[in-house]
Amino acid sequence: MGKLSNGITPTFCSRNRQSVTVCCSDDSSILNTANNRKQQLSNQQTVSKDGRRLSEIKCEEYSKRVYETVGYIALVPDPETMSISAPKCDYNGVELIVGGEDAETGEFPHMAAIGWINLEGTYSFLCGGSLISSKFILTAAHCTRYSKMREPKPVIVRLGDQNLNTSVSDGASPIEVPIKNIIKHPLYKSPGKYHDIALLELLSDVDFDSSIRPACLWNRADFPGHTKAVATGWGVVDPRTQRTSDELQKVSLTLLENDFCNILLKTKRNRLWMEGFTADQLCAGELRGGKDTCQGDSGSPLQVVSRENKCVFHIVGITSFGHKCAQSGSPAVYTRVSSYLDWIESVVLNRIIPTFCQRFETTVVVCCSDNTLTFGSVNVPPPIQPLRLPSPQPVPKPTNNELRLSERKCAEYSNDVVENIDDTGGIKTSKCDYNKQHLIVGGEDAERGEFPHMAAIGWINLEGTYSFLCGGSLISPKFVMTAAHCSKYAKMRIPRPVIVRLGDQNINTEKFDGANPIDVKIKRILNHPLYKSPGKYNDIMLLELETEVKFEAAIRPACLWSQPDFEEYTTAVAIGWGITDPRTQRTSDELRKVSLSLFNNTFCKSVLTPKRNRNWPDGFRDTQVCAGELRGGKDTCQGDSGSPLQVVSKQNKCVFYVVAITSFGPGCALKGTPAIYTRVSSYLDWIESVVWPEG
C-alpha cells in the first residue's frame, strides 16, 4: 500500500484462482516515461532506462508466467525437498522438426483465429494472428478486409482454440473477444505487398492462463542460432483441392538469407510487388517443396523458440503471401517483425496499462492511472511477493453545505432540458416527453422519449444478429449503469454484451415507432469488485462506451439518488423490455413502465427472509431495495434486469433519479413477494470514482 500511495502503479496483475499478484517497482522515477512520447514512425529505437527495448521488457514480464514451483529431491543421502522454478508448457519441441502435422493442444498459446460474419450469419475464420499483449493481436494488414463476407471487416478474435469446428471436442477452452479497433501500418496500401502488418485492438483485456498467453517479438534483423522457424495456421493443407484444416497445423521451415531470397524471388515481381523482396520482409520455406504456408494462414506467426525457455516463442515474421504453395524453389514471403517494432511499441505499449484492474471473484481491486507506464518495474529482483490489497476505503461523505460529485453532474445534465419559451419575458420551463398520469398505473407502454436515459444492452446471438437481454441507464456521456449479472450470457455467440442501444422505444427494428436510436459499442465492462457470480449481492456494473454520446431530447442521462432513504417518495417507476406475461414468458418489444411501491428495509427483511438460499445466504441487505405490489400483478421480470427503478425530481419533472437497479425476484408479480433491486446510493463512491475520476 505504501508503494501505491507514493504513486507507483502496478505493471501486471496476475491471477491464480482467488489470489491476485501485483508487481510494483521500487523506483518511482520510471513513471510517466511515455506520457509525452509521440506516436510516430521513427528509426530511433524506443528503449527503457536500462537500454532494452520496451517489447523486450514486456516479453520478460510475460515469460515469468510459464514457470511453476516444483519439488526437487536431490540424489544424496537424507535428501531434502527443494523448491525450484521450471518452465511449464505444452510445447513439444521434437515434433517441430517435421512439417505439416497437427499441433498439440495448448502448444501455441498466443495463436489467434480472426473471424468474419459470413453471409449465413456464422463466423468464418480466414486469417490467423498472434496475441502480443492483453489487448492486441498482431496480424497481416491484408487481413483487415474481405469483401465476400456480410461485414467486410473482421469482428472477432478466438483465442485458446485448437480445432475451429465447435462441434469437435479437442480439450480446448477457447474464448472469443470482439475487435474494438483495426490499426493498419500507415504505409500499407492495398492490394500492395509491402508493410503488410496490422494490429487489432480487442474490446476487453484478455486474462492470461496456460492456454492463452502472449508471444514475444523478435528484435534483431538477423536470426543468430536459428536456421529454422515454425509456421502455424488453420489454412489450406492440400493446394490441389484447397482443403483447409479445422485443426491447428504446424510446420518447420528454413529461414533463408536476404541475398538468397532476392535471387530466388526476382522473377516473381509484379505490379503489386514492383521492388521485389525488401529488407522489411523475410522468406522461408522448403526449397525441395512440400512444406509451406498457404491460403488461410495469412497473418499467422512465423516463430522461433527461446533458447533460455522452451515455453517462450518469439515472432520473427507474419505470413504475408507466396507464389503458389509448397512449390520447389519458391519460398513464401513474410513481414519482418523487427522492422516494425517502433510502430508496434508506439501503439501497443502506450496503451498496455489498464485503468481499472479487478478480479471477477475476489475483493482485491487495483486502480491504475491512465497516464503512467511502468515498464521498468519488471527489473525488481525475484522473488516478487504478492501484495494483497484491502477493499478501497470510501471517499469522505459531503457535508450539508456541499454537493456530491454525482449531484453536481446531475445539475449539469439537467440544464439540457430547460428551454426559453418566451424570449421577450425570459420565462423558462422544462421541456420533455414525460407523462406523469401514465405512471400511476402499471404495466403499460411508455411514451416515446419518456425515458431518455433508458438503454438496451445487446449480445450477438447464434444467428449473428443482436439480442437485447438487459436494460441499463445512461448516467454520463460515456457510461451506462446496469446489473453485474448482465455481464455474461453463455447462450449467446459471444458471452459478453457488445452493444448499447440508446433512444429507442420499440427494439424491433422492423417496426417504425418514430424513434431515432443509436447503437454504441461497449469498450469496457466493469463489474463491482465485490460482486461474485452467481451471488445476489453487489449486483451493479458500469459499461464504458467506445465513444461519447451526444445528448439530445431523446438521449439524456439520468441522475443518481444519493440519500439512503426515499424521503417523501412512496412509489417508484420501473421500466424495461422484459417479460409481460410470466405464464407464456412473452416479452415486449415496446418499452414498458410500471409504478411500484417502495418498502422500508425492516419490512423487506421480514417478508423476504424465507426466500434466502445459497446465492443469497444473508437474505435482504441494506445495500438493496425491495419494491412491488403486495396484491400481486405488477412487477419487473426476466429481461428487465439492469433496468432502472426511478423517481421523478420534485423540482423538474423532466429529471429522473435512479434509486435502484433491477436485480432479481422470487417469481414475477406474485402476491406478497416484492422484487429485489441494487440500492444506488450504497455504491456512489465507486460509481463516481469510475465515471468521473477527475471530478
**What CATH number does domain 94-348 carry, 3.30.43.10, 3.10.180.10, 3.90.170.10, 2.40.10.10?**
2.40.10.10
H-run or E-run covering 554: none
Q: Contacts for 15-21 with beta carbons within 8 Å, 24 or more apart?
A: 15/207, 15/359, 18/359, 18/361, 18/362, 19/362, 19/386, 19/388, 20/359, 20/362, 20/364, 20/366, 20/386, 20/388, 20/389, 21/384, 21/386, 21/387
Tell me the C-alpha distance between 280 and 340, whole Å: 8
Contact by Cβ (8 Å): 335, 318? yes
Beta bridge partners of 313: 305
Contact by Cβ (8 Å): 522, 497? yes
Tell me the C-alpha distance between 480 and 526, whole Å: 10
Which has more confidence, 63 or 168? 168
Within a 10 A sphere around the Cβ of 112, how many other Cβ atoms? Answer: 29
Query: Among all chains, which residue has been given the C-alpha cell 515481381?
Result: 269
By residue count, the chain amounts to 695
CA atoms within 13 Å, Cβ hemisphere of 199: 21
**What CATH number does domain 405-688 carry, 3.30.930.10, 3.90.76.10, 3.40.50.2000, 2.40.10.10?**
2.40.10.10
Stretch 113-117: mean pLDDT: 95
Stretch 253-279: mean pLDDT: 88
Contact by Cβ (8 Å): 139, 200? yes
pTM, rounded to two decimals:
0.43
Catalytic annotation present for 14:
no
**Among candidate residues 525, 387, 392, the one with its CA nearest the CA of residue 8:** 387
Stretch 491-502: mean pLDDT: 93
pLDDT value for 639: 57
C-alpha cell at 92: 513439444
**Range of 6-15, 151-160, 270-279, 412-421 with top mean pLDDT:** 151-160
Contact by Cβ (8 Å): 111, 232? yes
pLDDT value for 583: 60
What DSSP assignment string belongs to 517-534?
A: -EEEEEEEEEE-TT--TT
Contact by Cβ (8 Å): 470, 642? yes
pLDDT at 178 > cutoff 90: yes
**Range of 102-106, 439-443, 449-453 with top mean pLDDT:** 449-453
Catalytic annotation present for 110:
no
Q: How confident is the model over 576-632, as pLDDT tens digits?
A: 887 655 565 666 778 888 888 899 998 889 888 888 999 999 999 999 999 988 776
Whether the ω angle into residue 301 lies within 30 degrees of 0, i.e. cis, is no
Which has more confidence, 292 or 654? 654
Tell me the C-alpha distance between 187 and 324, whole Å: 26
Is there a common fold for 94-348 and 405-688?
yes
Q: Contacts for 184-192 with beta carbons within 8 Å, 24 or more apart?
A: 184/141, 184/144, 185/141, 185/340, 185/343, 186/41, 186/343, 187/41, 188/141, 190/141, 190/142, 190/145, 191/142, 191/272, 192/272, 192/273
pLDDT value for 307: 74
Contact by Cβ (8 Å): 63, 312? yes
Q: How confident is the model over 457-489, as pLDDT tens digits?
A: 999 999 999 989 999 999 999 999 999 999 998
Q: 362: which DSSP letter?
A: S
Q: How confident is the model over 353-398, as pLDDT tens digits?
A: 333 233 222 222 333 333 333 322 223 333 333 333 333 333 333 4
Query: Among all chains, which residue has been given the C-alpha cell 433519479?
Result: 657
Residue type, 440: I
Contact by Cβ (8 Å): 125, 85? no
**Range of 30-34, 231-235, 507-511 with top mean pLDDT:** 231-235
Q: How confident is the model over 307-316, as pLDDT tens digits?
A: 766 678 899 9
Q: Per-residue confidence at 260, pLDDT binned at 50, 70, 90?
A: confident
Q: φ, ψ for residue 268 (rounded to 5)?
A: -90, 0
pLDDT value for 209: 85
Which has more confidence, 389 or 339? 339
3-state secondary structure of 669: coil
Contact by Cβ (8 Å): 303, 315? yes
Which has more confidence, 634 or 558? 558
Catalytic residue among 539, 635, 640, 663: 539
pLDDT value for 305: 87
pLDDT value for 239: 61
Q: Per-residue confidence at 285, pLDDT binned at 50, 70, 90?
A: confident
Instruction: State the chain's mean pLDDT as an integer.
Output: 74
C-alpha cell at 423: 424570449
C-alpha cell at 360: 471477477
Tell me the C-alpha distance between 74 and 227, whole Å: 37
Catalytic annotation present for 539:
yes
**Among candidate residues 41, 131, 59, the one with its CA nearest the CA of residue 342:** 41
**Among candidate residues 690, 689, 681, the one with its CA nearest the CA of residue 659:** 681
pLDDT value for 227: 84
Report the percentage of the chain scoring pLDDT > 90. 36
pLDDT at 352 > cutoff 90: no
Range name among 154-168, 210-224, 287-301, 421-435 with the lowest pLDDT average: 421-435
Whether the ω angle into residue 534 lies within 30 degrees of 0, i.e. cis, is yes
Tell me the C-alpha distance between 415 and 408, whole Å: 11
Contact by Cβ (8 Å): 356, 529? no
**Among candidate residues 467, 446, 481, 471, the one with its CA nearest the CA of residue 509:** 467
pLDDT value for 377: 29
Q: Per-residue confidence at 297, pLDDT binned at 50, 70, 90?
A: confident
Stretch 319-324: mean pLDDT: 85
Stretch 550-560: mean pLDDT: 90
Report the percentage of the chain scoring pLDDT > 70. 66
Catalytic residue among 485, 487, 504, 643: 485
671 to 635, 637, 668: CA distances (angstroms)? 10, 14, 9
Catalytic residue among 211, 641, 643, 663: 641
Range name among 266-275, 290-299, 461-470 with the lowest pLDDT average: 290-299
Which sequence spans correspond to the domains of the chain? Answer: 94-348, 405-688
